[in-house]
Structure 1
Amino acid sequence: MDDLEHAIVTADPPLRVQQYRPMVRRYYECITSVYRHFWGDCYHFALFRDRESRTDALAATEHMIADEGRFRPGMDVLDVGCGLGGPALNIAAYSGVSITGVDLCEHHVRIASERALARKMQDRVSFRVGDGMHLPFADDSFDRIYVFEAGCHMPDKAAFCRECARVLRIGGEFLGLDWMQSNGLTQAEADRYIEPICQFCSVPDLISPAMMSNYLRRSGFEVLRSEEACSQQSLLRNFQVPEDAPPLLPGDWDATALQRVSRGGFALEEAARAGAFIVGRWHARKLA
């Protein structure tokens, strides 16, 4: 998919669903280097507490998932939408679990695998290309699954939940943080605030925590938590460019990449300030 095709697809909600794979791949082919320049190898939102740095907040957010899920050595854990492998490598080092990461983007998987080798963690952390709605694993393969802001790119969140239930062992737990819309938005509010996010960030649509709870229960999970993850003030801190980010030099990236990141960031921040966009958090356990 070239840039013109990508622009046509992202502007059309049905096309975003039908062509989500090439759409998402093209988006990250374009903007990954920009994200990495400013936000490093863990470019999910941080749940800030007090005045901690972004680095500390990111680590605390990842440790929170591992602690809540009671990750421990000997567990097999799946990271869906692993990106460049930052969270997987950090969580494996923190908790001692073995992690398999899957991502739609081949270049993400390549970079993540190189980083695991560089950190000498390739024996416990591995990465492969995969789709969260069609996971390339046998039934009952994992003790835990977690997600950092990847389910939003999937057009069928119900199918995603069913797949996670399928590959989890009985009693296994599914945890995540993801882009969502707040509960109870009107259609006019969704059109005003959520549609620009979907268009500029290559997202088919956004669901609410209430909808996520419903999908989890229908997939055979006991829902332990499904809620807004952080305060508006904490969320808005994520839109500040880190003070230690390297300077942007002329010619570093083409105009398309910078435009996509800036337009997406503006849409996200505007929706967050209006209370329409949130980071949702869930924790569920697979029933027998």
Structure 2
Amino acid sequence: MFISVRRAIADSSIKDCSRAIQAREGHRSVRKIFLKHESDSGSSSKGLFDVSITHRPEVVEYYDNTWLDYRAIWLNKKNLSMHFGYWDEGTESHSDSLLNMNRELAAFAGIQPGMRILDAGCGVGGSSLWLAENFDAVVVGITLSADQVRRAQRFAEERNLADRVTFQVADYCDTGLDSGAFDVVWAVESCCHAQDKAAFLAESYRMLRPGGRLAIADGFRGSRKPSMDNELLFQRLVNSWAADDLCAIAELVELAENAGFSDVGTRDISSNVYPSIQRLSFAATLWQPLGWMLAKLRIRPSVTYDNVVGAKLVGQAFRRHLLSYATVTARRP
């Protein structure tokens, strides 16, 4: 049903838009966390690619089918980043801005060398590898997409980081990983896909050691009471990117506190992200006619055109203050 709704939205949009751990020890630590549910189940083959993820197929469909789009216009082999960039006075390029977002969130969250980090919604491993390279972190990356896991593992091997970074298919609302296993749960533009944000926060809290920190960078809803036209635009945007809805920043803060977190801090960085938004919207405007034709002729899946629709609408949503972008950190007492 969700897919049909998104396709209906895309169809209506067509009309509208016509207008400090040693590497060896770190590897053993990662494998211990990674293999917990394998030993529990008595099978050594589960946990990497064979986990059945059936409750969010639209998220897997979206990322698996739009990989080439991300690869062509957004990320490169240096950053492997699928998120928006952070621009400041020293930023010289789009590629630099993507790495800047990692730096800003790491600084805000107080990442320290040698930490154990769960990258919740790791994509193809960009942030996971960056954390390992820059903080000597031991990282476990999880995603719903087996294709992303395969790519991320290959990238880790190419960078000689497979001894400190591993990836697996898992749901960040119910990971099956050890309680208290991580110093940081890192979530860059992944919390937005959670249908139950409270469940994501509760699972993050469980996996953190006392004193551990949650670090989020994501888009947030601007208002719960926009005009009908603005709400329609907002829903077209989030549905086009395989999300149901977004929290307002204050809503996420409340949910985090209800989950048991303390010292919840937020930083609105919308102005720093807006150049990245503009770049994406401009690219989508150029690509839209061809994207529509390729989807109409079934040369490419319709979800790829949904992605173009979302990329075009995100600029409008920002300018109308329907969408903001923020970093959020919280501590498990």
Q: Per-residue CA shift, 1:132-190, capped at 9, x if unaligned?
A: 11122111010011111011111000110010000000010001111211155436366
Q: Does 1:166 align with 2:166?
A: no
Change (3 A) 1:39 1:277: same
Aligned residues of 2:65 and 2:301 also touching (Cα < 8 A):
no
Q: Closer, same or farther in 2 for the Cα pair 1:76/1:12, shift >3 Å?
A: farther
Q: Residue 204 of structure 1: SS of its match in structure 2?
A: coil
Q: 1:236 aligns with which of 235, 255, 277?
A: 277
Give the whole-Å Cα distance in 1 for the aligned partners of 2:243 and 2:196.
11
Which amino acid in 2 is paired with 1:150? S
Aligned length: 273
Q: Residue 71 of structure 1: CA displacement?
A: 2.2
Normalised to the residue count of structure 2, the TM-score between the two structures is: 0.75
**SS of the residue 1:180 aligns to:** strand
Find the aligned partners of 1:200 and 1:241 in 2 and give their Cα distance.
16
Amino acid at match of 2:200: F
- 1:171-227 residue CA offsets vs partner (Å, 9 max, x unmatched): 100011112111554363662332111221110111110000001100111133124
**Mapped pair 1:10 → 2:50:** no
Max Rg structure:
2
How does 1:205-244 map onto structure 2 within 5 Å?
A: 205-231=245-271, 233-234=274-275, 236-239=277-280, 240-241=282-283
Identity over aligned pairs, percent: 26
Say which is worse superposed, 220-229 or 150-159, in terms of deviation.
Answer: 220-229
Aligned to 1:245: none
Choose the corresponding residue for 1:27, options 62, 86, 90: 62
Name the structure 1 match of 2:218. 178
Alpha carbons 2:113, 2:135 under 8 Å: kept: yes
Larger mean CA deviation between 58-67 and 199-208 belongs to 58-67
Contact 1:66/1:95 (8 A) holds in 2: no
Residue equivalent to 1:16: none
Q: Which structure has greater helix proportion?
A: 2
Query: Partners of 2:279 and 2:149 in 1: how far apart?
Result: 25
Mark the CA change 1:184 to 1:205 in structure 2 (over 3 Å): closer, same or farther: closer
The unaligned stretches of length 5 or more in structure 1 are 14-18, 243-247
Note the alpha carbon deviations across 1:49-97, whole angstroms, 9 max, x for none: 1352111111121012222323233311010000000111112111111
* 1:267 and 2:308 aligned: no
Matched with 2:87 is 48
Question: If the length of structure 1 is used for normalisation, what is the TM-score?
Answer: 0.86
- Structure 2, gaps ≥5 residues long: 10-53, 285-289
* CA spacing shift, 1:91–1:241, aligned 2, 3 Å: farther
Q: Distance in 2 between matches of 1:212 and 1:257?
A: 28
Q: CA RMSD in A?
A: 2.7
Q: Give the 5 Å matches for 1:14-163.
A: 21-40=56-75, 41-50=80-89, 52-163=92-203
- Cα separation, partners in 2 of 1:131 and 1:238, compared to 1, 3 Å: farther
Q: Secondary structure at the match of 2:140?
A: strand
Corresponding residue SS for 1:215 = helix
**Bigger shift: residues 22-31 or 68-77:** 68-77
